[in-house]
Every structure is written in structure tokens, then in C-alpha cells.
Chain A
Amino acid sequence: MTLLNESVRREVRQALAAMTEPVRIVLFTQQEGGALECGFCRETRQLVEEVVALSDKLRLEVHDLVADQALASQMGIDKIPAIALLRDERPQPRDFGVRLFGIPSGYEFGTFIQDLVLVSQARHDLSARTLEQLAALTGPVHIQVFVTPTCPYCPRAVLLAHRLAIASERVRADMVEATEFPHLANRYSVYGVPRTVINEVIHIEGAVPEAALMDELMQVNDPAAMKRLRAEWGL
């Protein structure tokens, strides 16, 4: 049984025609019956394989989270299924820090396909003001966007985070499918999506416009504000 029906395959093929550079999909998973709990590892692999078959600009690289621990931690992968999207440049693939944790199903399937095109084109479409703010970043920024597959406006929040990652070397941005990682949803008390979590302690509810997100994000440059927020979260 295929996951993508013929009409969806046709639409995806059409959407992927906009890709300019090849993209390397790096999938972290585990073998059938692996030691970790992974509700959708098998389906995620099948999904990615079906998508890769729809464009000659897509490459797939599959790793086992446990066996390839060193690579995983170097890439910031700590849970599965995980997808990292790399622009397949020469001599080295370029890793913008675009990640998807959990199966990209429902509304997030569209995000995944759009991500492929954005990474391929190294395109971010951000405003001049945002780019100025990103250029002023002094340290690493880790954005996690919690979503569910049934949330219609979550893709906007994820795509914004991914575009920030494409624009800035300092930014890594994860989509996190909340129901597959309940321990994380618990840790951050996520009961509603989208929730954007920046460097653990800056929390933003809803899909907010770019400028509003950036104003929140730039607090990472302010040690006093970050210290206060960390204290609020008991960190």
C-alpha cells in the first residue's frame, strides 16, 4: 500500500519542479523492532522514499539513531523519526539547520514539500528588518515549533522558523509533532499548537507574524532578559 495516492503524487511532482539545486534528505530512524519507542518510524521512511521517487533532485540517506549516534548528535538529532534537509552543494552538502521531528502528515505534509523547495532554492523571503536582526545575533538560536497534524495554521509557524534557519547560520529550527513526543510536550506544558519555543525559555503561542516573532526572538541577545526567563522556567 502506498501512502501517497496518484493525484497527490502528481501535485507533489508539480510542486517539486520548482527545485533548483538537489536536496539530500537525511532520515534518522531505527530498524523494525528497534530498542526505542517510535510510533511512526516505518511510515516516515516509506513516506520519504515515496517522495524521493517523485524528483530526480532528491537524494535519501538513512541512519540509525543508535548506531550512528556520533553523526546524530553532531546534527542535533535526539529523537526519531527525524528528517534533516540539506542542500546538496559541492563539495559539501549545506546544512541550514532545517529539521522535522515526527512524521510530517496532515497539514505538515505540505510543510515538508515546501521545505524541500525552499532548501533547494536557499530561499527565505524574509524582510530587510528581519535580516538585519538576524545579522545582529551573537549566539546560537534553537527554535522548536510544536504542531499537530490537524492544525491548519501550524505550517505557517513551522515555515517561518525554517526560513529563519535558511537565512541565518546561527539558527536551527525544528518542527516537533507534539503527540509523538509527549515528554517534550509535557516538559514545556504544550496543550495548544502551534507553540514556538526559542532557546528553551521564550514561548510564543499561535502563528504570529514575522516581525512579532523576531521581536520575541531577539531577547536571546539580552542576557538579563534570558536570565529572568530561565529563572521563570526553573532552569
Chain B
Amino acid sequence: MDLHFELPTTGDGAASVWDVAIVGGGPAGATAAMYAARADLRVIVLDKGLTASALGITSRIANYPGVPEEISGAELLRRMREQAQRFGAVFVQDKVQAVDLESDPKLLFANGGTYEARAVIIATGSMARGQRVKGEEELLGRGVSYCATCDGAFFRDQDVAVAGNTDEAVEEALFLTRFARTVHFLSPTPRIHAPEPLLHELSSQPNVRLYLGAALREVIGGDHVTGVRVALRDGGEQVLPVNGAFIYLQGGRPATDFLGGQLPLNETGCVRVDAEYRTTIPGVYAVGDVLCNHVKQAVVAAAEGAIAAMAVEKALRGRKQLAVDWSK
């Protein structure tokens, strides 16, 4: 075990409270970041990965105004993030696991540290998984995990499975290769949505086995996990004997688990807001696909991000009205 001693304040090195922390860097979060940064607010975007965004996995996007050429969603998103960065927004690849929205400043607990901010914009989209597989809930903390950095050390020299097809899943699997004897990587799709160098790193690890088009069906175990049942692409099924199952699968539900019940959600898990994208907690806003009754289009998500950022600026500076951002 390497020993580290630091106090839990992160950001740009020094102990710092951000004006705005944005969770999720899809079109909604990236646009909010651009507007907030242009208004001279100190803004940080925490995003767990490019291909965890709905836009990031869109192979072609043809209806985003001003972008007539055929580009991939990932490329469009990269451009949005770059534009926000140009105005000073800081992007950090990190996954927010829990929050304390009532405290002052507000706290975001992520894999890489704790972030503090005066205002928070939730822009996590709706790619979270709905249904859990059989055995998953019962075996949580007994081999089922969603956090490799937290729990990897329990699986030294053991076999584990990682289920997912995003860059997040690949990075977590790479982390686990340092502890585990074998990492079985189960991608539900024939293709893993991750940048080429990352994929190459994964497939060149001697202790990784790739299964493409392999659907996790069940986590097996009594006291603790003893295996996973997987449906293979050829129609067959296989039980892999493993002690750990790290699950990063996606779905179509609003990504709100990390809120730990601090905001009222409707039964599908979406967040409700007012016309300025304010939630029920002062200083906490939500935009994009994570909202109830939201039209799932990139341009709509971006527009919402813009309005929310202006609303944050208004609140933080004590203005009566939103200030428009017109170039002179």
C-alpha cells in the first residue's frame, strides 16, 4: 500500500472553492461551462468519460445547427468541451459518487477527491442503467462493486469480471489489472466505445480476457460472489468463476443515483426544475437529459445549459435579471 497524506480539497492544487461545479460534460454540461466561464465564474466540470455521454456514442449527428458536415457525436462533444476550456472552464475526468448539496460550500465526492463549490449544475444525462441483473443487489459489497479504486484491493490475485462498453469501464478494468489475477471484460456490444489507444492498452494486458457481445445475466454467490453468468454472442451461455463483479453498464434512466435521495425525483428517477433550471435546493440546478419532460436533443440540452449558467451567475452575483452574453 502506498501511503498518501493530503487534506480533502481538490481543484487546481490549492484548497479552493469553485464558483460552479458541473457534474457531467455532455452538451448540457459543456455549454453551461462555457457560459459560466465567459461570465468570469470559476468553473469545473467533472465527467467520467467521453463515451458515457449520449452524444459521445452517437455515430453521426446531422441536426446540430451550424455543423452541416458529417461528424460523430464524440467529435462534436470534443469541440464543445474545447470551446468551454478556451474560456477558462476546467474539465476533470472523474466520477462523482456522492454529494452533500445542503452543506455550504456544496460537496462533491468523486473518485479523485472531494470538490467544493458554491453552486452545482447536474448534467449527468439519462444513460444510467434501470434494471439490475439477478443477484446484483444481494451481493453488493460482497463482490459486486461500482468503484474499482475503492474496492480493488480486496481482489488481489483473484479473478474478476468487468461489465460495460464505455471508456469508464475500460479505465476501471485497467486499474483492476494491477490487483486481479484475471480480468474478464464483458462488453454487451460487439464494439467497445472507447478511444483506440485505451482499447489497445486493454487488449495488450496479459491478464485481460475480452468478451465482445457478452451480456451479463446474473451474479452468482451466497456469502460473496463466486461467479457470473454470461450470455454469449453465439447464443450460448457461460458461467465464469470470479470473486468480483464490477458493473459499469449503461441504460436509459436518468443518472441520479449519486444524489443519494437528496433531491426529490419522480418514479423514473428524473429531476424537476423551474424555468431557470433550479431544483428544490438553493444553488443546485439541473439541465439536459436528466430532467423530466425534457426533449432529448443535443441542441436542447445545450440551450438548457446556457440558461442554467446564466441563472447561476445571476444568483451568485445577486442580480435581479439574467445577464445576456452578447459579444461586442
Contacts and interface: CB of A to CB of B under 8 A. Distances in A.
B151 A193 contact: yes
B7 A113 contact: yes
Interface string A101-124: 001011101100100000000000
B112 interface: yes
A148 B151 contact: yes
B153 A150 contact: yes
Interface stretch (A30-38, A73-81, A184-192): A184-192
B148 to A, nearest CB: 9
Nearest to B8: A110
B147 interface: yes
B144 A192 contact: yes
Contacts of B223: 189
B109 A153 contact: yes
Interface string A123-150: 0000000000000000000000000111
A179 interface: yes
Interface string B133-152: 00000001111110101111
B4 interface: yes
Nearest to A104: B5
Contact of A151 (B4, B150, B224, B225): B150
Interface string B107-134: 0011111100000000000000000000
A156 interface: yes
Interface residues of A, number: 41
A191 B224 contact: yes
A102 B229 CA distance: 37
A105 B3 contact: yes
Contact of B7 (A110, A151, A203): A110
Nearest to A207: B98
Given A189-B142, A209-B260, A3 B151 contact: no
A142 to B, nearest CB: 19
A217 interface: no
Contacts of A192: 140-145, 147, 150-151, 154
Nearest to A106: B4
A15 B7 contact: yes
B243 interface: yes
A177 to B, nearest CB: 9
Contacts of B4: 105-106, 109, 149
Nearest to B261: A209
Contact of A152 (B97, B144, B224): B97
B154 A150 contact: no
Contact of A191 (B3, B15, B114, B143): B143
B150 A193 contact: yes
Nearest to B158: A191
Interface stretch (A4-12, A18-26, A88-96, A220-228): A4-12
Nearest to A105: B3
A97 interface: no
A49 interface: no
Contacts of A105: 1, 3-5
Contacts of B153: 148, 150, 178-179
Given A8-B5, A109-B7, A189-B223, A152 B151 contact: no
A3 to B, nearest CB: 6
Nearest to A44: B3
B6 interface: yes
B305 interface: no
Nearest to B149: A150
B283 interface: no
Given A109-B7, A191-B145, A191-B225, A149 B97 contact: no
B244 interface: yes
A195 interface: yes
Contacts of B260: 207-209
B141 A190 contact: yes
A188 B296 CA distance: 45
Contacts of A205: 140-141
Given A40-B3, A156-B100, A179-B154, 15 more contacts: A3-B5, A109-B6, A110-B7, A149-B3, A152-B111, A153-B97, A153-B109, A156-B98, A189-B223, A191-B145, A191-B243, A192-B141, A207-B260, A208-B260, A209-B260
Interface of A: 3-4, 8, 11-12, 15, 39-40, 43, 47, 103, 105-107, 109-110, 113, 148-156, 178-179, 185, 189-193, 195, 203, 205-209
**What 7 A-B pairs come out closest when comparing CB atoms?**
A192-B141, A151-B150, A205-B141, A110-B8, A153-B109, A153-B98, A109-B5
